[in-house]
A and B are shown apart, each in its own frame.
Chain A
């Protein structure tokens, strides 16, 4: 955004102010996330920088909060539970979601708008309402407080993301490819697995990542539908934040931030790959 030579002094001043505002907003967005990283290495049980830390003395830093995370039974059970729930929920969302997205992408599906609205609804309805409804209904059918109950609930929450990403990939899909495959004698299943699937795979994977993150990060529904034996990582963090806040939370938070950076990178790479496959140029 280079300024033109004819820019007035007033405009030049405004331009500087404008850039300062933007810088402030970027700072506001990123600083709270970045600041917890050094704080998680605090040798004291404080939530602020100690003088030793500010002077970069090595005794100000330690790994004790990380150590606590990896040895504490509560945190480890929570972590295990999260990893027991999220992958299975993701698998269900992706499997059902992808098949449905293929169906939805066909021309003139009856009641398409209504069906789409129903499938997207778990993303629209506020979580507290979904959680309340699931709590009532799942207690009626005996799923409240069970592992299966949470997996099903999380799968439902992840489905809109799979539907959105996979239908988006299918928009640019060349239908003559499936016709050609059928022409050459392949059955519908074979055509799907050999022709369609490899082409929409980036969309399926990024939809899956969204579904995974949704489940892995979800706390409201778990609080209501789950019971103490299904305590997940976010649940443990939530109770920690509400009751006795311990600095271990900062270590967990740092690990999660790194995880999200990794995920962000993967999704971006997938997006580029998908565009390349479909012949849409990014630049």
Chain B
């Protein structure tokens, strides 16, 4: 608590004579104490957020470059390989011996299949080689055998493929840029970085689609939100508050409720198609496909994000004084000119805030595209989820998420410059 004796009036009232020097010292001390107090109050929460939230994000960033699996599973082989000159033909017999030794341990710990699927991301077919080799090696008695090279080649010809060994050497470091390259449709091969085959290129296209759809959703929100925010801000407060309920109710309603509403409305047997058939716009047999495509995602997300456009617009428009537009009109401007030259420029901060907010929320959306997007209306976030829970290529999922995170943070930085994050208003 701030020491009360510092208050000037209290000081003059008291008869104490305090030397200037003492006063300064005591002021300084109390300020330091105040700072320490404030930090002590903040620290539990800061610690909590660091552990439950910031570390996980850092962990994810780490996973996007982490590649310890190769050197951890085949430590001896990798060390021997580092001496190997990859232009001099296949590695030495000693390398094959160490490989057998490493794999024997790996098979016992069942880690060889994991290494196989890791390397399979870079060259298809490796996973089966590792599985096959694992099965044979189980029967081997290391140190008793000879001619390891031959034995390996007998299991799978891949072990005699120099490209395969080059790949193993290439991916032996503990840190790799492989996942990030993969996330932008590139591949790190033994001959350097190159584009993936046309059939395997999906991520740049997905990023593009995410941005394109988010821009479209943002523009739709602006087009629909601007008139409404203008109307609400120009009405008397009582009516305005009533109309704001129309904006706040969807804002407060559960995301899943709104998504299910759209799923129900847009179905082929749903309300919208029924009305269209009833009116006669479409035949009963060729009902429109409104869901499980881009259209579904765009409509549902525009609806969900519209309040995030209207609320910042409204809070800016509320502060624009009426007198400016009136002055413009009295100086001879017509409605359109006074709006375009006087009102609109003053509403720009709201437009900026609303657009950035909607865009940021949109590019990271997962639930709605997952439910109403089908295959053509999904975002990059759906792919991230796919890699984490289905393909189990966590590194790639983490790399995609890291790229998305950087994009969002840059946008928020811009948002902060324009509006200030502390000015976020709720409800």
Instruction: Pick the most buried of A115, A137, A182: most chain B CB atoms within 10 A of its CB.
Output: A137
Known A106-B38, A125-B57, A271-B427; judge A253-B257 contact (CB<8 A): yes
Say how far B375's CB is from chain A's closest CB, in angstroms: 14
**Assembly CA distance A250 to B262 (angstroms):** 11
Asked whether A110 is an interface residue with its Cβ less than 8 Å from the other chain, the reply is yes
Asked whether B17 is an interface residue with its Cβ less than 8 Å from the other chain, the reply is no
Of the listed stretches A25-33, A56-64, A65-73, chain B binds A25-33
Asked whether B142 is an interface residue with its Cβ less than 8 Å from the other chain, the reply is no
Residue of A nearest to B59 (CB): A137
Known A28-B224, A48-B274, A103-B37; judge A129-B44 contact (CB<8 A): no
Chain A residues within an 8 Å CB radius of B39? 103, 109-110
Residue-wise interface mask of B (225-251) relative to A, using a CB-CB cutoff of 8 A (1 in contact, 0 not): 101100100110100000101111110
Report the tally of A-B residue pairs with Cβ distances under 8 A.
Answer: 288
Evaluate contact between A129 and B401: CB separation under 8 angstroms: yes
Residue-wise interface mask of A (123-137) relative to B, using a CB-CB cutoff of 8 A (1 in contact, 0 not): 111111111111111
Evaluate contact between A118 and B46: CB separation under 8 angstroms: yes
Asked whether A267 is an interface residue with its Cβ less than 8 Å from the other chain, the reply is yes
**Assembly CA distance A47 to B37 (angstroms):** 58
Evaluate contact between A47 and B267: CB separation under 8 angstroms: yes
Chain B residues within an 8 Å CB radius of A115? 42, 46
Asked whether B114 is an interface residue with its Cβ less than 8 Å from the other chain, the reply is no
Residue-wise interface mask of B (38-82) relative to A, using a CB-CB cutoff of 8 A (1 in contact, 0 not): 111110111011101111111110010000000000000000000
**Assembly CA distance A234 to B367 (angstroms):** 11
Residue-wise interface mask of B (330-367) relative to A, using a CB-CB cutoff of 8 A (1 in contact, 0 not): 00000100000000000000000000000011011111
CB-contact partner of B228 in A25, A108, A128, A137, under 8 A: A25
Asked whether B370 is an interface residue with its Cβ less than 8 Å from the other chain, the reply is yes
Chain B residues within an 8 Å CB radius of A91? none
**Assembly CA distance A271 to B241 (angstroms):** 13
**Assembly CA distance A19 to B259 (angstroms):** 28
Evaluate contact between A220 and B367: CB separation under 8 angstroms: yes
**Assembly CA distance A214 to B366 (angstroms):** 16
Asked whether A256 is an interface residue with its Cβ less than 8 Å from the other chain, the reply is yes
The 3 A-B pairs of least Cβ separation, nearest first, read: A126-B364, A103-B41, A133-B56
Extra inter-chain contacts (9) besides given A48-B271, A128-B384, A264-B427, CB under 8 Å: A32-B262, A48-B270, A99-B45, A126-B366, A137-B55, A178-B2, A210-B426, A242-B371, A260-B253
What are 28 residue pairs bridging A and B, where the CB atoms are less than 8 Å apart in the complex? A22-B228, A25-B228, A28-B303, A29-B250, A30-B250, A100-B41, A106-B37, A118-B50, A125-B364, A125-B405, A126-B404, A128-B381, A128-B385, A128-B401, A129-B405, A133-B57, A136-B398, A156-B52, A159-B49, A167-B422, A179-B1, A206-B426, A245-B263, A250-B264, A253-B256, A260-B253, A264-B252, A268-B427
Binding site for B on A (CB under 8 A): 1, 11, 14, 18-19, 21-22, 25-26, 28-30, 32-33, 35-36, 39, 46-49, 92, 96-97, 99-100, 102-104, 106-110, 115-138, 140, 152-153, 155-156, 159, 161, 164-165, 167, 175, 178-179, 182-183, 188, 191, 206, 210, 213, 216-217, 219-220, 223-224, 234, 237-238, 241-242, 245, 249-250, 253, 256-257, 260-261, 263-264, 267-268, 271, 282-283
